[in-house]
Structure 1
Amino acid sequence: MKDIADISAVMTDIGTRARAASATLGFAPAEQKRDALLAAADSVWARRQDILAANAQDMEFGRNKGLTDAMMDRLLLTEERIQGICDGLRSVALQDDPVGEVLAEWDQPSGLHIKRVRTPLGVIGVIYESRPNVTADAGALCLKAGNAVILRGGSESFHSSSALHSCLVDGLRKVGLPEDAIQLVPTRDRAAVSEMLTMTDFIDVIVPRGGKGLVGLVQREARVPVFAHLEGIVHIYIDAAADPETVMNVVLNAKTRRTGICGAAECLLIHRDVADTIGQDIIRTLVDAGVEVRSDANFLSIDGVTPASKDDWGCEYLDMIIAARTVESLDDAIEHIRTYGSNHTDCILTEDQTAVDRFFQRLDSAILMHNASTQFADGGEFGMGAEIGIATGKMHARGPVGAAQLTSFKYLVTGDGTTRS
Structure 2
Amino acid sequence: MEQLEQSIIEIAGKAKKASRIMANLPTATKNQILLDIADALVEEQKEIMAENAKDLQAAKEKGLSPAMLNRLQIDEQGIASMVQGVKEIAALEDPVGEVEEMRQRPSGISVGRMRVPLGVICMIYESRPNVTIDAATLCLKAGNVVILRGGSEAINSNVALAKIMQQVLENHNIDSSVVQVLPMTDRAAVDILLKQEEYIDLVIPRGGEGLIRAVTEKSMIPVLKHYKGVCHAYVDRSADPKMAVDIVYNGKVQRPGVCNALEGLLVHEECAATILPQIAAKLQESNVTLLGCLKSCSLVPSMKPAADEDWGTEFLDLIMVVKVVSSMTEAMEYIAEHGSQHTEIIITDSYERSQTFLRSVDASAVMVNASSRFNDGGQFGLGAEIGISTTKLHAYGPMGLKELTTRKFIVYGQGEIRQ
TM-score, normalization by structure 2:
0.90
- 1:255 matched to 2:252? The reply is yes
Give the letter aligned to residue 17 of structure 1.
K
Q: Specify the alignment match of 2:396 in structure 1.
A: 398
Q: For 2:346, what is the secondary structure of its paired residue?
A: strand
Give the letter aligned to residue 232 of structure 1.
G
Give the conservation status (yes or no) of the 8 Å contact 1:287–1:304.
Answer: no
Give the conservation status (yes or no) of the 8 Å contact 1:343–1:392.
Answer: yes
Determine the C-alpha separation between the residues in 2 that align with 1:299 and 1:113. 61
Match of 1:280 among 277, 281, 287: 277
Q: Specify the alignment match of 1:31 in structure 2.
A: 28
Determine the C-alpha separation between the residues in 2 that align with 1:78 and 1:272. 50
The alpha carbon displacement at 1:361 in A equals 1.0
The alpha carbon displacement at 1:253 in A equals 2.1
- Output aligned runs, 1:92-103, within 5 Å: 92-103=89-100
Q: Specify the alignment match of 2:235 in structure 1.
A: 238
Give the letter aligned to residue 136 of structure 2.
G
Please list the CA deviations of residues 305-353 of structure 1 after superposition, one character each: whole Å capped at 9, or x if unmatched.
Answer: 3321111111112222222221222111111100011111111122222
Determine the C-alpha separation between the residues in 2 that align with 1:53 and 1:291. 40
Determine the C-alpha separation between the residues in 1 that align with 2:260 and 2:317. 12
Determine the C-alpha separation between the residues in 1 that align with 2:279 and 2:10. 55
Q: Specify the alignment match of 1:370 in structure 2.
A: 368
Determine the C-alpha separation between the residues in 1 that align with 2:276 and 2:67. 26
- Output aligned runs, 1:101-180, within 5 Å: 101-180=98-177
Q: Specify the alignment match of 2:313 in structure 1.
A: 315
Query: Larger deviation: 303-312 or 264-273?
Result: 303-312
Distance 1:279 1:50, change over 3 A: farther
- 1:196 matched to 2:218? The reply is no
Give the letter aligned to residue 324 of structure 1.
V
Distance 1:73 1:32, change over 3 A: same
Determine the C-alpha separation between the residues in 2 that align with 1:360 and 1:72. 40
The alpha carbon displacement at 1:414 in A equals 2.5
Query: Larger deviation: 108-117 or 13-22?
Result: 108-117
Q: For 1:325, what is the secondary structure of its paired residue?
A: strand
Query: Larger deviation: 269-278 or 370-379?
Result: 269-278
Give the conservation status (yes or no) of the 8 Å contact 1:39–1:170.
Answer: no
The alpha carbon displacement at 1:57 in A equals 5.6
Determine the C-alpha separation between the residues in 1 that align with 2:242 and 2:79. 34
Determine the C-alpha separation between the residues in 2 that align with 1:70 and 1:264. 19
Match of 1:228 among 199, 215, 225: 225
Q: Specify the alignment match of 1:354 in structure 2.
A: 352
The alpha carbon displacement at 1:285 in A equals 2.1
Distance 1:270 1:52, change over 3 A: farther
Q: For 1:269, what is the secondary structure of its paired residue?
A: strand
Determine the C-alpha separation between the residues in 2 that align with 1:312 and 1:70. 24
The alpha carbon displacement at 1:179 in A equals 1.6
The alpha carbon displacement at 1:254 in A equals 1.5
Query: Larger deviation: 94-103 or 38-47?
Result: 38-47
The alpha carbon displacement at 1:241 in A equals 2.1
Determine the C-alpha separation between the residues in 2 that align with 1:66 and 1:311. 30
Determine the C-alpha separation between the residues in 2 that align with 1:167 and 1:199. 26
Q: Specify the alignment match of 1:12 in structure 2.
A: 9
Give the letter aligned to residue 316 of structure 1.
E
Determine the C-alpha separation between the residues in 1 that align with 2:76 and 2:403. 30
Determine the C-alpha separation between the residues in 1 that align with 2:41 and 2:342. 31
Give the letter aligned to residue 258 of structure 1.
R
Determine the C-alpha separation between the residues in 1 that align with 2:352 and 2:70. 39
Give the letter aligned to residue 153 of structure 1.
G
Determine the C-alpha separation between the residues in 2 that align with 1:248 and 1:214. 35
Match of 2:83 among 83, 86, 94: 86
The alpha carbon displacement at 1:171 in A equals 3.9
- 1:44 matched to 2:41? The reply is yes
Give the conservation status (yes or no) of the 8 Å contact 1:38–1:171.
Answer: no
Q: For 1:266, what is the secondary structure of its paired residue?
A: strand
Give the letter aligned to residue 404 of structure 1.
K
Q: Specify the alignment match of 2:330 in structure 1.
A: 332
Give the letter aligned to residue 418 of structure 1.
E
TM-score, normalization by structure 1:
0.90
Give the letter aligned to residue 367 of structure 2.
M
Q: For 1:384, what is the secondary structure of its paired residue?
A: coil
Determine the C-alpha separation between the residues in 1 that align with 2:322 and 2:48. 40
Give the conservation status (yes or no) of the 8 Å contact 1:70–1:259.
Answer: no
- Can you give the 5+ residue segments of structure 2 that lack an aligned partner in the other structure? none
- Can you give the 5+ residue segments of structure 1 that lack an aligned partner in the other structure? none
Please list the CA deviations of residues 14-72 of structure 1 after superposition, one character each: whole Å capped at 9, or x if unmatched.
Answer: 11111111111010111111111122223334445555565566566666667677766
Query: Larger deviation: 307-316 or 270-279?
Result: 270-279
Give the conservation status (yes or no) of the 8 Å contact 1:103–1:115.
Answer: yes
Q: Specify the alignment match of 2:203 in structure 1.
A: 206
Give the letter aligned to residue 101 of structure 1.
E
The alpha carbon displacement at 1:273 in A equals 2.5
Give the letter aligned to residue 329 of structure 2.
D
The alpha carbon displacement at 1:293 in A equals 2.2
Number of equivalent positions: 418
Please list the CA deviations of residues 383-421 of structure 1 after superposition, one character each: whole Å capped at 9, or x if unmatched.
Answer: 222212111112221111111112122222232232223
Q: For 2:134, what is the secondary structure of its paired residue?
A: helix
Q: For 1:193, what is the secondary structure of its paired residue?
A: helix
Please list the CA deviations of residues 92-140 of structure 1 after superposition, one character each: whole Å capped at 9, or x if unmatched.
Answer: 2112211111022122232222232111111011112233332222112
CA-atom RMSD in angstroms: 2.6
